Structure 1
Amino acid sequence: MLAALCDREGNQTNVEVSGTGGLDDPVDDGVICVDGIYYVLDPGAMAARVVAKNELNSTYQGRIIIPSSIKVDGREYTVKSIGRRAFAACMELDKVFIPKTVEVVEKRAFESAVIDDIEIEEDSQLKVIEDYGFMFFCKNRGQVVPDHFRLPEGLQEIGVRAFCGAFADLVIPSTVWRMGDLSLATNIKDLFLKWKRPVNTPLNILELSGYNDVDYKGSMCPTPVEIHVPSGSLPTYRLTKPWCFFSLDEMPVEEATIYADIAGLRYRLRGNKAVLLPPNEGQYSGDIVLPETVSYNGKEYKLVRTEGAFNNSKVVSVAFPSSVKYVVDDFKYCMELQTVTFPENSRLRFFSAMEGCPKLTEFVFPASLQVLYGNSMMYLDGLKTIDIPGSVSYIGAYTFVKGSLTEVTAHWICPPKMLPNDVFITKSNPRIRVPVGAKKYYEASDAWNKFEIVEDETVEAFVKV
């Protein structure tokens, strides 16, 4: 069905809102349809709530421009909220426009929806995003939500796991006073906090671990995010959990993003930091030595992150500088890759996605590494041994999968908590070398006790200071 709606400039637009169900799907009691969008009315408050056609079937697809008000039987109702599961699991949404009159996005309103574009109107009156409210995905995986997805000043509450998808920028307004567990546990590149003094927030607000079980609450997996705070507030944030665990600076959200090709490599530049990207055309090849800093238009930028730069490329070797903190989805199906190196003074914290590199026979993680994200070392048939530094506090699910590991050296006395049975799924169970006195702790762990645990006096125990 095509409904004639008006966009925010007042121009009439044909908007496809027919959905996954047929036209004969039943409409729930109390639900009305106006121009292809379903509502429940509150006559006392003269308010309307956007809902699904029925509890079993969200039928929206295409471009959905929610109006600020609707007329029913000659009476005007203001659209005040987006109801529970209104757009849940809608897989073909091109755009959803949320008018400024909406005050509440209810629980699971967009859960598991797949959306190209979502926009909140300027001067929005949005006050509450309930649990899982904006837990949608981007239609084109790897693409970020458009820049105009902005949380408005005046927003007060953000619920549990409120967001999913990927964000280039996410700005938390100064008016927010309550945030739920894992409320920002998603892929955010730059997070801007507007509080001069941080409010109390859950310690797991930015975790990616997905561990809801009590047994795994200690396994913190922070997102590879850069956090930016108001001018003059940096000392306070550096003393406040959980923010003190992350990279912090005072870059304003208005700082422009520049894309530049420098010495044969492509970068995203912002503030004083550089991110290495894949080239616009073709692939990187041969031996790559990444610089610690790059200069552009007279300004110097420090390389802190790489993002998918070498996937499906013909690189033979990559040497990282000490400045890089995050290696994100970088080495998938590099068929010629033989070596990847980090300097002794490396500041690497987060590593993910090395997959299908058959010629890689040796790999050494730097001693600074904290997070080995899930699926990080898959289908590496040439890699027989690996040394995991004791600085690693989180190892994700399916980290070492379908490879040929025969030996793993682990430097913890007490290993970090992991989901049992799914970290090492290899062609043969590797032997685990551990420090003297550590064997009993590994044998007490469901994640490790299926392997042969061998104490080795040459394995140096990691002691956190």
Structure 2
Amino acid sequence: MSYFYNVVRMSAVGAFMVAALSAYAESVQVGELFYDLNEADGTASLARSATYTGMTNVNIPGEITVDGNEYTVTSVAQQAFRECKSLESVTMGEGIATIGAWAFYKCSALTEVQFPSTLTYVMGSAFSNCTAIPALVLPDNLKKVDSYAFGTCKALAEVTLPKEMETLGGYAFYSCGKLSTIHFNAALDSIGENTFYGCGMTAVELPESLRAIGAGAFSNCTKLAEISLPQSLVKIGDQAFFRCSALTGIQLPDGIRTLGMAAFYECTSLADVALPEGITTIDSNCFYGCTSFRSMSVPASITTISNGMLMQEESQESDRKITAM
């Protein structure tokens, strides 16, 4: 079975590489840039080229003309500018809807990106390891951001999220250690897995539309001291605030029903928590290692309290106070 899988997989990879090389060979040059054309629908995709590696500034137009025919540029191809380490600024024209995976991966000098209003999709790792970008304003029509799209952007300090986005993808801003300011939008329904893992915010105010915080969403945000949770929130996922050691207090909304496994694990500054009436489940190790924790009011609505909910060093156990409501 394993041999058969590997043969099929290698054949698929080989076919992809042949297709990619064929597309590259047929690319046309307009100015300094290369494009793959789709004559059937009059669109074009910015293609990858080794000549891009020496560029410092790039302006990708929304339209091009080839042999008298006009084409709308709708995408930036996968890995198009990968590791173009001299690239400092990028402007994308109206019409571009998709930025491919790894399109600007490790463009370490990139400091300015101007997105078009037509952008709807940023694929995985598109700007990952762009370590000089200080701020991002994502366009309002952007609907989807894949894993690690802006991961490990070490200089990124401020992000404005799109107004139309309902789900913020997992790992989107993973390990952006200087990210301290996030402007959320009114439509956001959920935050994905490890979206802000290891980021540098000290305070966060989540939008009133939010219903779910995914697993590890704010895990290891060691500077996070304050977070405002909306009344719409129903679920806090596993390890959502794992080792947020600066978090001093949290006001859980009335609508919350589930606190995930290790949700507040080793939040060592967390002193007390009031659980709202209506909460039903507290998963294992939810408040494990909360060494400053002293009191909790437990409502009658709780049906499940898993092992290790309040476990900490034995010498500190005697000071805890749990009150049934």
Which category describes the TM-score, using the shorter chain as reference length?
0.5 to 0.7
Aligned to 1:259: 27
* Alpha-carbon spacing, 1:296–1:310, altered in 2? closer, same or farther (3 Å): same
Aligned to 1:433: 205
User: Does the CA contact (< 8 Å) of 1:371 and 1:392 recur in 2?
Assistant: yes
Out of 311, 315, 327, the residue aligned to residue 87 of structure 2 is 315
Aligned to 1:376: 149
Secondary structure of the residue that 1:300 maps to in structure 2? strand
Following superposition, the deviation at residue 414 of structure 1 comes to 5.4
Instruction: Tell me the distance in 2 between the aligned counterparts of 1:434 and 1:412.
Output: 9
Aligned to 1:24: none
Instruction: Tell me the distance in 1 between the aligned counterparts of 2:2 and 2:172.
Output: 36
| Deviations, residues 26-81 of structure 1 (Å, cap 9, x unaligned) | xxxxxxxxxxxxxxxxxxxxxxxxxxxxxxx544xxxxxxxxxxxxxxxxxxxxxx
Out of 402, 407, 422, the residue aligned to residue 175 of structure 2 is 402
Aligned-partner residue type, residue 378 of structure 1: G
* Alpha-carbon spacing, 1:145–1:138, altered in 2? closer, same or farther (3 Å): same
Tell me which protein shows more helix as a share of its residues: 2
Instruction: Tell me the distance in 1 between the aligned counterparts of 2:157 and 2:165.
Output: 20
Out of 138, 148, 157, the residue aligned to residue 13 of structure 2 is 138
Q: Which ranges in structure 2 are unaligned for 5 or more consecutive residues?
A: 211-229, 252-325
User: Does the CA contact (< 8 Å) of 1:335 and 1:359 recur in 2?
Assistant: yes
| Deviations, residues 411-462 of structure 1 (Å, cap 9, x unaligned) | 135523634xx222124456333346862234744389638799xxxxxxxx
Aligned to 1:334: 107
Out of 46, 49, 55, the residue aligned to residue 279 of structure 1 is 49
User: Does the CA contact (< 8 Å) of 1:370 and 1:393 recur in 2?
Assistant: yes
Instruction: Tell me the distance in 1 between the aligned counterparts of 2:172 and 2:30.
Output: 33
Out of 115, 119, 137, the residue aligned to residue 10 of structure 2 is 115
* Alpha-carbon spacing, 1:380–1:337, altered in 2? closer, same or farther (3 Å): same
Out of 257, 260, 269, the residue aligned to residue 37 of structure 2 is 269
Out of 63, 70, 74, the residue aligned to residue 300 of structure 1 is 70
Instruction: Tell me the distance in 2 between the aligned counterparts of 1:283 and 1:295.
Output: 24
Identity %: 18
* Alpha-carbon spacing, 1:293–1:284, altered in 2? closer, same or farther (3 Å): farther
Aligned to 1:367: 140
Aligned-partner residue type, residue 231 of structure 2: K
| Deviations, residues 255-311 of structure 1 (Å, cap 9, x unaligned) | xx9410110101101121110022244525111111111111111111100012211
Higher RCO structure, 1 or 2 (CA under 8 Å, sep 6+): 2
TM-score, normalising length: structure 1: 0.42
| Deviations, residues 127-186 of structure 1 (Å, cap 9, x unaligned) | xxxxxxxxxx515xxx72766xxxxxxxxxxxxxxxxxx9x99xxxxxxxxxxxxxxxxx
Q: Which ranges in structure 1 are unaligned for 5 or more consecutive residues?
A: 1-56, 60-86, 94-112, 117-136, 148-165, 170-256, 455-465
For residues 14-413 of structure 1, what are the structure 2 equivalents within 5 Å? 57-59=1-3, 87-88=4-5, 90=6, 93=7, 113-116=8-11, 138=13, 144=16, 258-271=26-39, 272-281=42-51, 283-307=53-77, 308-313=79-84, 314-329=86-101, 330-343=103-116, 346-352=117-123, 353-404=126-177, 405-412=179-186
Secondary structure of the residue that 1:324 maps to in structure 2? coil
* Alpha-carbon spacing, 1:115–1:373, altered in 2? closer, same or farther (3 Å): same
Aligned-partner residue type, residue 395 of structure 1: L
Instruction: Tell me the distance in 2 between the aligned counterparts of 1:270 and 1:380.
Output: 34
Q: Which has the larger radius of gyration?
A: 1
Aligned-partner residue type, residue 91 of structure 2: A
Supply the RMSD in Å over aligned alpha carbons.
Answer: 3.1
Aligned-partner residue type, residue 323 of structure 1: G
Aligned to 1:68: none
